[in-house]
Chains A and B, each alone.
Chain A
Amino acid sequence: MKSVKKKNGLPVFMLIFSVLGFGLFYLFPFLFSLIYALTDNPLHFNFVGIDNFIALLQNKYFMNGLKNTVTFLAIAVPLNMCLSLMAALMINGRKYTRYFSLVFLIPLVIPSATTAFFWSKFFDLNGSLNKILHIFGVEKIEWIQSKYAMGVMIFIFLWKNIGYNMALFIGGLNNIPESYYECADIEGARLLQKFQKITLVYLTPSFFLTLIMTFVNSFKIFKEIYLLTGEYPTENIYVLQHFMNNMFLALNYPKLTSAVYILTIVVVFFIAGVFKIERKISDNISVY
């Protein structure tokens, strides 16, 4: 016991700084902001209980932002997972895998302002996309201001993040022992069977890691969208971060922090659900 405690001393000491930093810059402000959420005004602090939360749930812009955020997540995250897995399967084990990976990772390192500028020109009314479509007789559309704006947002998100997820999946694929596939070949398994029974099963840990990372990155697309559309975009791409950003600029901290807490509750339930499913599947795999 003494020797175990001694061995654990140094890691704990090394972790203290990270934990302190996390506590000081994330946890403490997050908990402190509850005060703003329970008061009417950040300068005078009159307690109003949960009035801010109730008002928020009746606020059409907040609800619209929440709806668009959930819609975006429901479409973009699974689509990203599927496309990046397909890309990983296609290029893994081939010649020049590294170079293909590099190409897919380039969008991730391009600064957001550059990305926004490029896509604003591409999707502009007189931009490249409309010029290409015009050849086929399609009328010009102002994509970012139209009902297709959500599609544009999803497209930019996919373009930026497929490479990252693909790299994670390639790592996961490389961890699957080759002998399993050899056994399956000997048994006469088809490609789809190998994919279902071996690849998907042993990719489960990578899959859930990738899912959580994709979920995290899906919120970051706000940067490009904000640069493209400003503070007040069209209804269908007005997401929760627009609402929160505008509340911050308007010094309306009670609404901002109430929105943050509601979003936190939604995210906690989602993450808890993901972990529960992951544990169940992992248990099934170990039994299997």
Chain B
Amino acid sequence: MKKLILVLITVAMILSGCGADNTTGITPESIVNPKADSLEEAPPGTEEPIREAYVQPEMKGEISISLLEEASFITAGAELFMKKYPDIKININVFRELKTIELEGGAEMSAAPEEGFTTDNYLTYLGTQIMSGKADDIILTSMLSMRDYIKMGAFEDLSYYLESTPEINEENYYINVIEAFRRNGGLYEMPLSFSMWVIYFDRQLVEASGIAPDKELKSIRYSEAMELAKQMVDATDLPNTYLELGTGKPESMLIMEDIDQFINMETGQFDFNVPAFTNILKQAKSLRQNGYYDTGTIDFYNMEYHFGLGTDFDSQAAIFSLLPDSSYYMAMPQCDANGDALFYAYLTLGINSGSENKEIAWEFIKFLLSEEAQVNPSMYNIGINKAALEPMAQRQMGMKTIELGFTLQDCVALLEGWAEQANSTFMERDISNIIYEEIDRYYSGSVTEEEIAKAINNKVDKCLNE
């Protein structure tokens, strides 16, 4: 008996030695196992129950929201909601405070998170909360790799609630953006707003080179824009002309626009060790080696310089491209290989499948999507509600101190045209992190393109099939 206890204690000591602190402050052809880990299988516990028609619940009770950092839009929305329904209390649980560093001139910069409060810490904390049944009713899903959470059935399928809310329709909302979040037929997160990366060209360079994009284009692939910019740079004698601002890391953008060619997130099939991938790396390396990117020689205050193409976020790009004598030529959203304009949603919410207040949680999300909430000044991006676009554009225009020379309607019309095209969101965080890490390794040393491709294959295989 004593020996058994001794053995068990020793074993427990050893296993306690297995624990690792995960604070890190920041992966050939294979087909996912169709049995247990199929991405096509519906998550357990979400089999379609026969549901009665949705009825608005009694607006009384308490719900909680889990956020990594404070989100002013959600805070403002919660205050408005509680004012509207005084018997409902909303608790916003923020994991870490947003700390800033004051710079010279009064500007502020975000400070790095303290130890123990990184995004990885939050994911560990959130996972533990979900698994122990203590997670909040509503969870911010923007930084989550939703694939794993959906597989475990951690989030409620919002399709039922969405179908029961006829006022959320194509006429009043950017349903194209909402539908881009559908996975395996289910909708597990609801975007509240989104932002689009817009590509533009240098007007002076266009005029000097005589090369311009097709005027009929409504969106453009990054690779096409880069090719045009390269032609402009080659065809001009203007001093200090480069492809783009920065030291030249176009690989990420080129890979992401064509990511469907390398990985299918629905079926789990992937292969990065193909000529199309390695050629992207070689092309980007060649551009850097041939001087198409600045190596830190530009004096931005005392030199004339031109960048063939630039990228900016939507509202700013719209304003600058509408200015008379604007240096922005033909600003348009970036699209992927299928022609779907890319967007990123910083605020997406999901409902915890273990919540006892799902209906109230949905009512709050519905409120955050409504015009009343979305016109709030804390909406910085394009709101999902179309009515929010004009107030947002007006606020952005109001922040500019220069004479604009165009109307609010011009700006709204331009942004509307872009927003209607938004159809494709960026790759899941864990997969994109694998790609970015390997590309960083590619920059740093004498690693070949094939080695990088194989390394990505290995890591993605583990990520999807472990």
Q: How many angstroms between the C-alpha atoms of A212 and B153 in the bound complex?
A: 41
Q: Which residues of the partner chain B approach A41 to less than 8 Å between Cβ atoms?
A: 44-45, 152-153
Interface flag for B458 (CB, 8 Å): yes
A241 touches B18 (CB 8 A): yes
B18 partner, pick from A43, A112, A145, A222, beta carbons under 8 A: A222
Q: How many angstroms between the C-alpha atoms of A246 and B460 in the bound complex?
A: 13
Total residue contacts A-B, CB cutoff 8 A: 134
Q: How many angstroms between the C-alpha atoms of A46 and B47 in the bound complex?
A: 14
B21 touches A253 (CB 8 A): no
Binds B, one of A5-13, A89-97, A190-198, A262-270: A262-270
A142 touches B21 (CB 8 A): no
Q: Considering only CB atoms, which chain B residue lies closest to A274 in the complex?
A: B10
Central interface residue in A232, A255, A264, by most chain B CB within 10 Å: A232
B11 touches A43 (CB 8 A): no
Residues facing B in A103-117 (CB within 8 A) are 112
Interface flag for B20 (CB, 8 Å): yes
Binds A, one of B67-75, B272-280, B444-452: B444-452
B152 partner, pick from A43, A220, A223, A243, beta carbons under 8 A: A43
Q: How many angstroms between the C-alpha atoms of A268 and B14 in the bound complex?
A: 10
Central interface residue in A26, A40, A234, A250, by most chain B CB within 10 Å: A250
Interface flag for A83 (CB, 8 Å): no
Interface flag for B459 (CB, 8 Å): yes
Known contacts: A43-B354, A223-B20. The answer to whether A232 contacts B444 by CB under 8 A is: no
A251 partner, pick from B36, B154, B446, B455, beta carbons under 8 A: B154
B44 partner, pick from A44, A219, A231, beta carbons under 8 A: A44
A43 touches B45 (CB 8 A): yes
Residues facing B in A212-231 (CB within 8 A) are 212, 215-217, 219-220, 222-223, 226-227, 230-231
A232 touches B7 (CB 8 A): no
B27 partner, pick from A40, A216, A227, A231, beta carbons under 8 A: A231
Q: Which residues of the partner chain A approach B112 to less than 8 Å between Cβ atoms?
A: none
Interface flag for B398 (CB, 8 Å): no
Q: How many angstroms between the C-alpha atoms of A227 and B151 in the bound complex?
A: 28
A232 touches B45 (CB 8 A): no
Known contacts: A216-B13, A216-B14, A271-B10. The answer to whether A232 contacts B458 by CB under 8 A is: yes
Q: How many angstroms between the C-alpha atoms of A112 and B22 in the bound complex?
A: 11
Q: Considering only CB atoms, which chain A residue lies closest to B124 in the complex?
A: A249
Q: Which residues of the partner chain B approach A223 to less than 8 Å between Cβ atoms?
A: 20-21
B22 partner, pick from A46, A125, A226, A268, beta carbons under 8 A: A226
Residues facing B in A229-262 (CB within 8 A) are 230-232, 234-235, 238, 241, 243-253, 255, 260
A125 touches B444 (CB 8 A): yes
Q: Which residues of the partner chain B approach A222 to less than 8 Å between Cβ atoms?
A: 18, 20
A241 touches B148 (CB 8 A): no
B14 partner, pick from A126, A145, A231, A267, beta carbons under 8 A: A267
Residues facing B in A17-56 (CB within 8 A) are 22, 26-27, 30, 40-44, 46, 55
Known contacts: A43-B353, A43-B354, A275-B6. The answer to whether A55 contacts B36 by CB under 8 A is: yes
Q: Which residues of the partner chain A approach B458 to less than 8 Å between Cβ atoms?
A: 232, 234-235
A275 touches B7 (CB 8 A): yes
A220 touches B17 (CB 8 A): yes
Q: How many angstroms between the C-alpha atoms of A67 and B17 in the bound complex?
A: 19
B20 touches A251 (CB 8 A): no
Known contacts: A241-B20, A264-B15. The answer to whether A251 contacts B130 by CB under 8 A is: yes
Q: Give the Cβ gap from A141 to chain B, nearest Cβ, in Å.
A: 10
A275 touches B3 (CB 8 A): yes
A59 touches B466 (CB 8 A): yes
B27 touches A219 (CB 8 A): no
B16 partner, pick from A26, A231, A245, beta carbons under 8 A: A26
Q: Mark B398-441, 1 if CB is under 8 A from A, else 0.
A: 00000000000000000000000000000000000010010001
Interface size class, chain A: 35 or more
Q: Which residues of the partner chain A approach B20 to less than 8 Å between Cβ atoms?
A: 220, 222-223, 226, 241, 245
Central interface residue in A44, A223, A231, A246, by most chain B CB within 10 Å: A231
Interface size class, chain B: 35 or more
Q: How many angstroms between the C-alpha atoms of A272 and B123 in the bound complex?
A: 38
Q: Give the Cβ gap from A133 to chain B, nearest Cβ, in Å.
A: 14
B27 touches A232 (CB 8 A): yes
Interface flag for A140 (CB, 8 Å): yes
Interface flag for B116 (CB, 8 Å): no
Interface flag for B12 (CB, 8 Å): yes
B444 touches A272 (CB 8 A): no
Q: Give the Cβ gap from A26 to chain B, nearest Cβ, in Å.
A: 5
B11 partner, pick from A59, A227, A235, A268, beta carbons under 8 A: A268
Residues facing A in B200-259 (CB within 8 A) are none
Q: Give the Cβ gap from B46 to chain A, nearest Cβ, in Å.
A: 9
Interface flag for B367 (CB, 8 Å): no
B152 touches A251 (CB 8 A): yes
A251 touches B10 (CB 8 A): no
Q: Which residues of the partner chain A approach B24 to less than 8 Å between Cβ atoms?
A: 226-227, 230
Q: Give the Cβ gap from B407 to chain A, nearest Cβ, in Å.
A: 50
B18 touches A251 (CB 8 A): no
Q: Which residues of the partner chain B approach A46 to less than 8 Å between Cβ atoms?
A: 44
Known contacts: A220-B17, A245-B22. The answer to whether A251 contacts B445 by CB under 8 A is: no
Interface flag for A100 (CB, 8 Å): no
Q: Give the Cβ gap from A187 to chain B, nearest Cβ, in Å.
A: 38
Q: Which residues of the partner chain B approach A216 to less than 8 Å between Cβ atoms?
A: 13-14, 17
Q: How many angstroms between the C-alpha atoms of A223 and B20 in the bound complex?
A: 5
Q: Give the Cβ gap from B66 to chain A, nearest Cβ, in Å.
A: 15
Interface flag for A202 (CB, 8 Å): no
Q: Give the Cβ gap from B454 to chain A, nearest Cβ, in Å.
A: 10
Interface flag for B98 (CB, 8 Å): no
B152 touches A247 (CB 8 A): no
Interface flag for B344 (CB, 8 Å): no
Interface flag for A61 (CB, 8 Å): yes
B131 touches A125 (CB 8 A): no
Interface flag for B462 (CB, 8 Å): yes
A219 partner, pick from B6, B18, B353, beta carbons under 8 A: B18
Q: How many angstroms between the C-alpha atoms of A55 and B45 in the bound complex?
A: 21
CB-based closest 10 A-B pairs: A232-B27, A125-B445, A232-B459, A250-B148, A44-B45, A216-B17, A219-B17, A219-B18, A251-B152, A41-B44
Given A26-B12, A126-B445, A251-B152, 19 more pairs with CB closer than 8 A: A27-B12, A41-B153, A43-B353, A44-B44, A55-B35, A61-B462, A125-B447, A212-B10, A219-B15, A220-B18, A226-B20, A232-B434, A241-B18, A249-B22, A251-B149, A263-B18, A268-B8, A271-B7, A271-B14
A selection of 18 A-B contacts at a CB cut-off of 8 Å is A43-B131, A43-B354, A125-B445, A215-B14, A216-B17, A219-B18, A220-B18, A232-B458, A241-B20, A245-B22, A246-B462, A250-B148, A251-B149, A252-B148, A252-B151, A263-B18, A267-B15, A271-B11
